[in-house]
Each structure stands twice: as C-alpha cells, then as structure tokens.
Structure 1
C-alpha cells in the first residue's frame, strides 16, 4: 500500500495528523542536510515508539568487517558503513512532572510537519494533552545551515494553553549511538573527551579503525515571550552524554522558547587537536547571528540554488512537488564544494547500501550537476575517480588482473572496493564503463577537453586494459565473449554475454584508442608523460582493437532484437501485465532462485545501453527493443523508471512517459517499493531531473551543438527549466502550443530545435511554434 498522507503542495512536503505507523517513513522523507552533514527527521523530544535515529557526517565512515559464510578469494575485507554519528538534536521536555512523548501521550491534536523546500527548513507543531488534562502547544523549527555548514539550529517553543507550567527543558548531546546495520555489533565510536564551558558542551569522539576525529557540540539559550530568560543550566555528565537542565515556571499563554545550536566539526577540515577551538569559532558566528538571522541567510542560500536548479510545472501539483523534492534532496546531499566527497545512494537519510560512491554518480548524477551548477562541480567528480585510480588498479590485482588494469569499485569510500555481495563485487563490472562514459559525457557537454590529457586518459587506459583481459576468446563463436557477469539488471546473476556489458566494453576500448590518437597528435607533452607512466605499446593497443572489433553480441533473429544475455529466451516469457499483483514487488515476495529464473528485469539493462548510446541506433531499433523489454520490467530499481520515461518520450508515447516520470519523481513520496523507511533514493533523483530535461525537453548535445525536441504531457499546462551550457544559461519554457528560449550570457547561441537552426540572443525571448 503506497503512502497517501503526504499532502500535495508545490513547495513543501506536509504531513497532517500524527500516526505512529508513519514515523519511520516520515523520518526519511523529511530528512535535512547541507552537503557537510545531515539527519533523519527524528523528534527533538523523547519518543518511545519505533524510530530510526540517524545523524551523519559527510565522509566519515567505518570499515565493518565482511561477514559471509564462505570466503571467496578477492572478497573485500570490509563493507563501509555510513556512520550514525553522535546526536546533537535532543531536547527532553518535562511539563508539570510529565515527560512529553508523542507515543505515550493522552492525546495529540493538530500535528503538522512541514519540510519547506523553497527555504530549507523543517518545522513541526502539535497540541499535546497531559494526563492531568493540561494542554500545551509545541512548535519546533530546525535547519542545517548552508552558510555555516558545521552548524545546525533549532527553535523549540512551548506554550501552556490552559495551565501554568513548571518546565524542565533538557537539551543534550549523546555519544551512545549505534548503527541500524552492523555486521558484528562492533563499537564504531570511541569517546575521548567530554567538556563543558559556560553554555557550551562538546563531545570529542573518533571512529574505530578509520580514526576520524570529530567534535559534536551544542549551545543553548532560553527565552520567554522572545525575551532572554537569563537561565543558567544544571549540567549532568555521564560517560557518553552531556545534558543541560533548565527549569522555569511559565504562566498560561506565555511562550517559552529554546534556541539550540549544534553540529559537527571534524579533522576532515581541521586539525584534530583543535576541534574544540574551531567549534567555538563556529558557535561564535552562529550565536552572534542568532536563529532569525541564520534562518534569513538560509532562505537566501536556497533562493540562489533554486534560481538555477528549479523546474516549474504548471497544472500538476503532485508532479511539481515530486521534481522539487528530488532537486532539494540532491542539493542537500551534495553541493560540489568539497572535491573529496561524492553522492551516496541514501545521502543523509539512512544507512542502507553503505559507501558514498556508486556508478550512479557517473551514470545519473553528473548530468544534473553539470547543468544546474557549473562544469567545475562535474570535473571535481571526475577528478575524484582519477585520484582513486591506484586503488582501482589494486582492486583489479586482488582479482588476478595485471599490467595496470583498473577495476573501479561498485561501492567505495576511498577507492577500495567495499561491497560484499559476490554477484555484485565480482560480476557487476559494467560500472567501469559508466566511468568512461562520464568522461565522454563531460567533454561532450562542456566542451572542456583538458581533463582527458591531464587525468582522464590514464583512467581510460586502465579501463580498456580491464576489458581486454576480462574478455575471453571463444573458438566456438570465433568471437570475444564476456562470461560470468551481472548487468544493471541484478535479477540475472552470473550470466554470459550481457549485451549492455559487452557493448560498453567495446565502446570503452574504441573511445580510449580514439583519445590516445588525439593526444598523441595534439598534446605531445602529455602523451609522452602518460606513455612513460603506463608503459603502453602499439602491440597492446592492437590487441585491444582485436577484442573490440570481434566482440560477440547475442541477437535474436526471431524477435529482431539484441538479447539481454545468452539465455534470455530460455526463460518462460510471461509479461509483467500477466503477473499476479499480489506477487509484487517480487524482491519481497519471491525467493532469489525464482527471481533468477524469471524473465523479470529489475531495471533498464539493454535499454540502458540504448540510453547511453542513443546516436548509435535508429529510432526504429529503439522502438523494437523498448517494446520487447519494457513489458518484462518490474522497475524495482530506483534507477529504472527515469530511463524508460526518457525513451518513451523519444518514441512519442507521452502517457507512458508521464507515468514513468511520476513513478521516478514520487518513488519515495509514494513509497512505490515499500522501503522508504530505510531512507531515500538520492542518486535516482538525478534521473528524475533527466526525465524532464532529456525526456520531455528532448535536450541533447550532438555535433558540439545543444539540441531540443520539446514535448509536453497533456496533464501539464507548461513547464520550464534552466541549464548551464558552457557558461551560458539557457531557460526553456514549454507549453502546449509553443516553446520559448531565453539566454543569459554575452554571446548569441545557435541551437537546434526539432532539427531546425534557431539563434538565441542574450536577454531576448525566442519563441518556436
């Protein structure tokens, strides 16, 4: 059963009415982050019901030792855990001797929670009835500052409605935190120091094994009717927790408020011996500004983000809410300001999947960040992979490869493979191809070739070497084959000749050779440096070419389509339409054995290749393959509906494209896969952006030129988006009858619209019928 309690709203996510069954889902959906840290939307006050507590610091992780029944050579030694960090948000509330707890209260009314995406804050309000009949009103607002990204701020207010109230307010920081997922129930954190100074408290802690040093902190100030109450706290300190206790009596209708500032500093940005000193600097900035000014700054920071990243949709509130929800969480997760970070699949909303970097970044996220920020952000993401090249070579060596072969990890924190499901770790090797494609995609979009001679060619050579060694010559087929793989469709493991894998392997080799030749002729100094480093010979390149030129691709003459893998037609080809709905989702209802024998596709696989390499195939070929494979696709991967939406729009199947768009944009809001309580699907949110810009907007870069083929669902009155193309901002406004283009920049830009040349000039509206 899908979620149905999120109220449609263009700029906010709103929940009205308290239902304990929705708490964990809402903790995910209402999560907040600022790129440097994030947290699930846990209540500030005590909550005794089922909850998933989660606060996270970007880049801080723990290598949890792999736990398997049967160790295989080459297995990663650990699975990287996104660490649940010490918590700073807690504020226990006691009114006339009764602890406030929404799970055990006599009555809660007018519960409302709002995530304001336009301004970047989370609020909650409710009327609470005490067991003695007293009533109080609670209003809470919090945000994680974009301006001061080590600071979070909370304003928590209590108003006695029909009583005078003796309040005991206890803000605290708590280091006794554990992860939801732990292989061995290891202790992840070691608390080294607890310190209190005036109204400030600090917990210094370091991670076990990885030895990240952090400081969790808080500072509080109390007010009555907006006037400083001048309260001094009683301090309670245990081995892992510091609490400040404020006691005050307030009269009926008086408003008591506490402003609490908290957050994290870490040795990722500061000297580990100066964390408390650096924390005091951050707190001084926060308290000098105050809650209201910080909130005003927050609104301005988000306004700047939205000015470039917003997509408007007219006439369809749920569609509008969905895309803004996706854009908002992408920016909460990653802002491009720290080149050492990447885009975790759950962001700051949960712990599932571990790691911070998947192939999702290259396949789905780079286009979003290239277009809505600037090319430096995308270049940082590519530089991140270059800096992990030596680790990628080590990963390949562990599996028996040699001669500088690079196998990039499926999941990583530091370049080392840390995913411990064998069918993914060893077999889902298509990830290598996505990294090469991202290099190509970056150059194609930005026009910046400099990354390739500076860094990218070394990455491409390592990847090409991998495909050369991973392919096997089949004397039976007289072709090169790639055996024992898992493609993007993870519902087929250990298959031979996955078409997508074979195709991207061939393309990687050809693309690498093309760039070697270009750099040899045009960047001679770089070429000499690279060849001296990688020891690449003409003979080795010739061997690569032999693999690429003789790659095997399974094909069905009967169906006139490339086969997803050698054995696909051996399956009982029952379409999803004929599958009993009670069996869905199959990943929660079926055994793995049954899934593997079924024809059902978790996500776009062959069609993923048609998406990446659209220019290699005719529209008629795309249509044949779409018609053959989509009926078997259950879309139980978050990465699936967006690709299908783009391709359905390309095929003028707008109703289908719209349905897929809604599914990708509201995947978490409507909990299509019944798992939102575990966290959100952050990386697939970039695919939602693509489904509008590349799908409905038809944006492509062909022959060094920006092109559009705009289309619009009949459910919409219009939509608009902006893209930053080579430092020129183009705004596209589409309605049912025409498309408008606006240009911010200094020079005219020639674009193609529906195959026709159109010239757009700065600050002039151009309309195409």
Structure 2
C-alpha cells in the first residue's frame, strides 16, 4: 500500500538533479521550494512565492527566485559533506505524497575514510503556509569527531542561471538580523518594492537535550549564517531540526522582521512533529476529496497521484491575486506566467474537487481585469483582452522575441495573436458556475468578465462584405505551428459561444439583480443597442467546414496545405519528425497539439459523436504532440469515440510527462497543464464523466484490461459523489439527492445511497 503513495529514486546521478528538483518540489500554493539536495551544489535551486514578480533588467516581468533559505552544510573536522566529491555508499530519496513529506537518505565516505549516515525529511506546511521545516538525523558510523552545522540564507540568488544572456537579479538585500535563535534576511524587489523575509532556526537534541556547544552569527555580504559546533561519538544518532518562516509585504503591513521572529518562536514552541502532523492532516482531507484509485496498475496509480499531488500543491485559496503558472511554483520555466493552461487544463480539477480554489483562481482574472482592459485599448479594441501570458497585473507579458536553436532572434507572435484566451476564461467561469451554482460569484464578478470579453470580441470581428459574414483574421489557435491564420475554428467558435453566453447571462442577471445589471451596463458603457449588435454579428461568424459538413477545417486554407504523414515514433511513443520534403512547417498539415479536437472537448455537448470521430481520426494522424498539453486531450477524445487502445497509451504519456521527462524539459518546472490533463484523462476519459446540455451529470466509464477497479470522487453542487468502476458494475454514491445518467439511462440517487448499474 505504501508503495503506491511514493515516488522514489535509489540511484544518484548529478545530471538528473534539475529534473528531480522539479519532481521533488514541495509547495503549498503560497510558495514552492524546489527539491534541492542540501549536500550537492549541482542543480538549480528555487524559492518561489506566488505573486512576487519583478522585471528589472529582464525582458519581461517574471516570477522572482527569492533568497535561498535551504542551505544546510555539515562539516566533519572542517571537511564539508558534498555527495559529488565524496564516495556515496548509499542513496535514496522518496516523496510521500499521502502526507506531503520528502525523505532522503545518504551514506557517505569522506576522503579521511570516515563514514557518515544522514537521514532527512522536509515539508512545506499546508497547515500554516508561512512555515516549512526539515529534520536531519546524523550518525557517525565509524568515528568520533568535532562537527559543524552551518545554516545559511543566501541573498545572491539570480534568475536565468541557464540563460547567460538574460541573467537577472530581482531583489536587493536590505538587512540581516540575528533572532537568537535563528537568522533572517530581508530583501526587496526592484520594481514593486515587495519586501521578502526568510527566517530559519536550527535546534538540536539527543537524550540529554541540546547537543550544540557553541554558536556563531555572521553577516557575509548578501548572505547571513549561523554556525554551530558539536562533538559526536561513534555509532550514535544526533537529531537536528531546521525551522523556516517566510513572509512578504504582500501578506502584512507590519514590520516583517517582527512578524517573522514572532512566527518563528511560535513554530519552535509548537515543535516540528506537531506542525508535521497538522500538515499531514490537511493532506488527508485534500486526498479525501480528490484521490483517484486504480487497482491492478501501480504505474498508473503512482503516476496519477503524482499529478494530483503537485497540482493540489500549486493552489492557494486564500489569495485571489494569484493563479497557477504554466510551471506552477516548481521552476522558472515560462517566467512564472499564467496561460490558458489554468482555465482549460487545471481549473476543471478544482471545480470538481475543491471549488473554493477554483473560485480563487477565477478571482485572479477578475482582479487583473483592468490590465486586460488596458491590453484591449493598446491594441485598438474595446472591452477586455486578457493577456496570453499574465503575471501580476493582467497586462500582456509575453516576450516579443526569443531565439531559435541556432541562436537567431525569432519573433514571438502568441502575445499578439493568440486571442482565444478570452473565451477560455469565459468558459472557465461558466464551468465553475454550472458545477457550483455560486450565484454570488456570477452576479458580482463572473458576469462582468463575460460581458467585457464579449465586448472585446464584438470589436475584434471583421466584416467580409462579399461573403456577408464576420471573420477573425490573423490569429494563432491552440496549434502554434500555424501563425497569422484566418478564421481558426477554435477561436471563432468560442468567440461566438462567449458572446452568446454573455447575452444569456445578462438576461439572467436582469432577473436576479436588476440594480447590479443597471450599474454594470453603466460601468461598461453598454446598452440594448450593443446587445442587439452582438446578437446579429454572432450569428454571422464564419466557421470553416469541409464540404460534407462533418470534418471541420482547422482554419481557412488548412486543407490546401501539404499533407505529410507521420510514420515513426520514438522510445517514448512520441512522433518523430517526418521528412517535410522541403516544405516549411507552417506550410504542412502537421499540428503541434489538438485544436479542432480541443474545441470538441471544451464544448462537447455541441457536437455529435460522428463529428467527433471523424475529426479525431483526421487530426490525430497529423499531431506531433510538441506540447505536454496534447496527449491527455487525445486520451479523452479517444475514449469518447472508441479508440480505447490509443487512449491508455496517451494516458500513460500524460501522467508520466514529468516522472519520465518525456518532453525533455522537466528540469524547468512542472508541466502543470499536463497535471490537470491527467485528472481530466482519468475522470472525463476513463471515468466517462461529463455534464450534458440539461446540466445533468453523465457517466459512461470504460476501464482498460489491466485495471481491476477504478474509483474517483467529484463534488457536484456541494455533494460528494464517488464513482467506482470494476469489471462488472458501475457504483455511484452521493451525499445528496442527485439525478444522473449512466450509459445514457436516467437514474435518481437518494442522499447517502448507492446506485449500482451493470456494465
């Protein structure tokens, strides 16, 4: 049982350090600490606090890699323990996902022949997000000696250590302080002047209490340290605790050193074990509402739990000013920016397992609405244009330039052309409301976003007089291989949906809260004249189709491009680049990730099964999966249309994206969209869960041969619903009365009853 809750490695290879720092990251939504090994200098350490952004000399605003509080050095008679320069006799690291604790064991032989065993554990508290801690059990196997423990907070940290041309420092060190016990370092970001304090304290114990014989505090430029001296006997174990506290000026108006010192003392007073237990209890509650259980397939079980663990670690319901970045709090990849990944890939997981978090993520969009309005204004449009890449204020922060593999400058167009983000956010609002019926949210926040995004689309539509239709030209759809295309179906269809939904919801608001409706129209500068115009235009938005009306053309002219066949796959089952026969990539039908298929997943109830099948079969053969967002969506659609063989393959690709590093860049941070896609693959795919046009939960599960039993939990309108699928039956338990459809048949389930349907 223990095994299917743990991600474990037993061999050390320093070239893999960055990858495992991502995999072993511990986060609580407020902050993330990359899973660095204290006793190795190789890797890319990271301390990321949600919402702490800065630009300074960087190309665009990015998440700040804050001062490093993790440094913990052990010396034996002056010789430092460094697993890269000593003889490593034993090594093990294990992430206990059930309790959110990272365990590491090291046995090293020093140049002097002395052997030392170190067992460590670390957690970033879910009980109190400002706390983190580590425990070290040190055992001199064959010697007695004088030893030192060095606790350091390092303020020399920079961003982009792997990108020499863009190396940037985002904060200045203001001050250091001796907390006696403990040390603290205060820094301040350059742009927004956000102050950050990291405070740590080291305490020790054996059967006689404290083992330290002396302590020395030193401020060393941009670093602060405390050094402890102690003496060890052969074969005896010594325990050292490290307590950590983090606060920023975003959290409190009070003086940060005072807040941190008081919090650190409280933490020490409560003690390591008590906080660890409280932290584990929070994880137990989280797992109770989100766990996906797979019997008979340990790879799938560990894989899905890893994705759920890291996704749940990335969200913080108590700060509506932050969202989840594409790399979560796990690395500097994509500069800590928020994309459509959040609303389309990650949000459904929270909508159906932890709606409070989903609401907070959507509130981030509401709180950055003014930035979105500025984007629209700068681009000559009305309403709100949400940025393709978002940081702290909602203005567009997509870099304008990047470099290709040869180091040549390449213009990045996504920030200028990938407009579909607006509808993705609108859809996220509707999905949340549909699952929760949170009227207060829709009245006070959601409707404003729906109306302002519809207002944007209305101003973005272009009239084609010759064809008497409205078009959206020069865009990028989800498939980013094709830039500057006209009438991308995903974009056009969802723009139409967005405008239609805004008109529906404003009618609803007029009934629910007439005063709010009037003030909103007044505030946004819209009236019945605008609504009439939206209605007329949305009915004339052009959707490219093949002549039979079933196969949808991804964008205007797509079917005229060179049709290159994918014939080979690599050891990870991913497509190998075919010979482009002299064509440029954008002149072929090869696509980066699902686009038309994505549309049919987002708005599933609007397309019949035959259309889904035809489009799945056509586009699946042409997809290169050059995005971690891709396999999960093909897994779900494959199950929908009966391609069960490929669905399981795509599911494994998705859940192992980071664990097997099948995109080759796990070291840069978590593939957060893929973690959300993993849950969707499990629940929407194998679990067969969907919501139909009448807002009735539907269940059409299918499980692969290798699974004996499959169980998942969702939250539907405040009721916990548990679904179990085995070889013979589908069982559904609900806390409240609920109407459902199972394999197309209607059933009613009474509160706390279980429905059993034969498969």
Q: Classify the TM-score, shorter chain.
A: over 0.9
Return closer, same or farther for 1:44/1:585 CA change in 2, 3 Å cut-off: farther
Aligned: 1:749 with 2:738: yes
- Aligned partners of 1:406 and 1:465 also within 8 Å: no
Aligned: 1:140 with 2:132: no
Q: For each residue in 1:83-115, what CA deviation from the matched residue of structure 2 results, as whole angstroms up to 9, or x when unmatched?
A: 11111111111113321111111x212200011
Please name the residue that 1:268 is paired with: 250
Please name the residue that 1:447 is paired with: 437
Structure 1 window deviating more from structure 2 (751-760 vs 553-562): it is: 553-562
In structure 1, runs of 5+ residues without a counterpart are 1-6, 68-78
**2:393 corresponds to which of 404, 408, 414:** 414
Return closer, same or farther for 1:520/1:147 CA change in 2, 3 Å cut-off: closer
TM-score, normalising length: structure 1: 0.92
- Aligned partners of 1:409 and 1:415 also within 8 Å: no
**2:504 corresponds to which of 506, 514, 524:** 514
**What does 1:272-671 align with in structure 2 at a 5 Å threshold?**
273-374=254-355, 376-402=356-382, 404-421=383-400, 422-557=412-547, 560-577=550-567, 594-671=584-661
For residues 238 and 440 of structure 2, the distance between their equivalents in structure 1, rounded to whole angstroms, comes to: 58
Secondary structure class of the residue paired with 1:397: helix
Aligned: 1:721 with 2:712: yes
Please name the residue that 1:245 is paired with: 227
Structure 1 window deviating more from structure 2 (283-292 vs 756-765): it is: 756-765
Please name the residue that 1:220 is paired with: 202
- Aligned partners of 1:732 and 1:741 also within 8 Å: yes
**What does 1:79-158 align with in structure 2 at a 5 Å threshold?**
79-105=60-86, 107-158=87-138
Return closer, same or farther for 1:203/1:705 CA change in 2, 3 Å cut-off: same
Secondary structure class of the residue paired with 2:739: strand
- Aligned partners of 1:412 and 1:419 also within 8 Å: no
Please name the residue that 2:155 is paired with: 175
Post-superposition shift, 1:446? Answer: 1.6
Please name the residue that 1:70 is paired with: none
- Aligned partners of 1:8 and 1:317 also within 8 Å: no
- Aligned partners of 2:632 and 2:677 also within 8 Å: yes
- Aligned partners of 2:136 and 2:239 also within 8 Å: yes
Please name the residue that 1:74 is paired with: none
Structure 1 window deviating more from structure 2 (409-418 vs 340-349): it is: 409-418
Please name the residue that 1:731 is paired with: 722
For residues 424 and 656 of structure 2, the distance between their equivalents in structure 1, rounded to whole angstroms, comes to: 26
**1:12 corresponds to which of 6, 14, 23:** 6
Return closer, same or farther for 1:405/1:280 CA change in 2, 3 Å cut-off: closer
For residues 450 and 727 of structure 1, the distance between their equivalents in structure 2, rounded to whole angstroms, comes to: 15
Secondary structure class of the residue paired with 1:632: coil
Q: For each residue in 1:529-587, what CA deviation from the matched residue of structure 2 results, as whole angstroms up to 9, or x when unmatched?
A: 11222221333223222321111122222795111112322322123235788997779
For residues 447 and 487 of structure 1, the distance between their equivalents in structure 2, rounded to whole angstroms, comes to: 31
For residues 575 and 145 of structure 2, the distance between their equivalents in structure 1, rounded to whole angstroms, comes to: 51
- Aligned partners of 1:225 and 1:254 also within 8 Å: no
For residues 684 and 462 of structure 1, the distance between their equivalents in structure 2, rounded to whole angstroms, comes to: 29
Aligned: 1:62 with 2:59: no
TM-score, normalising length: structure 2: 0.94
Secondary structure class of the residue paired with 2:537: helix
Q: For each residue in 1:724-756, what CA deviation from the matched residue of structure 2 results, as whole angstroms up to 9, or x when unmatched?
A: 111111111111110112222xx4222111122
Secondary structure class of the residue paired with 1:663: helix
- Aligned partners of 2:89 and 2:108 also within 8 Å: yes
Structure 1 window deviating more from structure 2 (560-569 vs 685-694): it is: 560-569
For residues 592 and 341 of structure 1, the distance between their equivalents in structure 2, rounded to whole angstroms, comes to: 45
In structure 2, runs of 5+ residues without a counterpart are 401-411
Secondary structure class of the residue paired with 2:443: helix
Q: For each residue in 1:485-504, what CA deviation from the matched residue of structure 2 results, as whole angstroms up to 9, or x when unmatched?
A: 11011111111111111111
Post-superposition shift, 1:65? Answer: 5.3
RMSD of aligned C-alpha atoms?
Answer: 2.4
For residues 582 and 409 of structure 1, the distance between their equivalents in structure 2, rounded to whole angstroms, comes to: 30
For residues 202 and 714 of structure 2, the distance between their equivalents in structure 1, rounded to whole angstroms, comes to: 42
Return closer, same or farther for 1:724/1:591 CA change in 2, 3 Å cut-off: farther
Aligned: 1:768 with 2:748: no
Q: For each residue in 1:496-515, what CA deviation from the matched residue of structure 2 results, as whole angstroms up to 9, or x when unmatched?
A: 11111111111111111222
- Aligned partners of 1:342 and 1:356 also within 8 Å: no
Please name the residue that 1:690 is paired with: 680
Post-superposition shift, 1:393? Answer: 0.9
Structure 1 window deviating more from structure 2 (178-187 vs 578-587): it is: 578-587
Q: For each residue in 1:143-179, what CA deviation from the matched residue of structure 2 results, as whole angstroms up to 9, or x when unmatched?
A: 1111121111111222111122321211111111111
- Aligned partners of 1:392 and 1:409 also within 8 Å: no
Return closer, same or farther for 1:483/1:372 CA change in 2, 3 Å cut-off: same
